[in-house]
Amino acid sequence: MEKNIPKQVEGKSLDCFKTVDLPSLEEATTFFKHIKRKLIDVNHWNEITKAPSATFTIVDASGHTIERPVKKHDHIRIDIPGPGLPSAKGYDWVHVEDITERANAEGADILLTLRPCSDPTQEDTDTAHFFKRLATSSILVEQKGRHISLHYAGRNEIINTDNASMLDNLRNFMVGLGAKMGASFPQWKALIEGLGDADNH
């Protein structure tokens, strides 16, 4: 499934890993299902990180919250700590580009990939995110026997200063620079750690 993570072409990349070994295959299978359930429950990711972090909310085109597991093509509104995006009412936006699941005799895996997009509640087509649309955020969870591995892969992280709004571009430059300097690493690391916390299953 690693091959399904978008390729690094340009800009910065970011990777976080966690591995967990369970006492038995049965426990590993149960734990994988538990992680998967938490992974697709995007609206409650901030409860997993146990720290001041961004909040992720699945919304429809009218801006209403959708309370259900995330699906392919969903839009996710992100409220990050710090200055918001002026043109998008203070939020960043991504859409769910892919959710791929596999299961076989050896184990199972799930890959969730997010990509910056425009604000679906507005006519404006500018990318409502501090990174350009080339950027992706992928979370891969794999179970092989008693072994479970989690991998966050940020790819092609290029600061988005192409928006029509000068205020947007200034904000994106500041936030994007912070993210490239490592500010987004604790956020994703906390999520990966929280998802793979064997004490909470």
Report the C-alpha gap between 84 and 80 in whole angstroms: 7
The pLDDT score that the predictor gives to residue 201 is 54
Class of the CATH-defined domain 2-200:
alpha beta
Answer whether 91's CB lies under 8 Å from 85's CB. Answer: yes
Q: What is the pLDDT of residues 95-138, one digit of tens each?
A: 999 999 999 888 999 999 999 999 999 998 999 999 999 999 99
The pLDDT, as a whole number, for residue 179 is 84
Q: Which of 48-57, 118-127, 139-148, 168-177 has the lowest mean pLDDT?
A: 48-57
pTM: 0.93
Neighbouring residues of 19: CB distance < 8 A, sequence distance ≥ 6: 147, 148, 149, 150, 196
Mean local confidence (pLDDT), 168-177: 91
Work out the average pLDDT over 156-170: 94
Which tens digit of pLDDT belongs to each residue from 20-33? Answer: 999 999 999 999 99
- The mean of the pLDDT values for the chain is 92
Number of helices (H) and strands (E) in the chain: give both, helices first. Answer: 4, 7
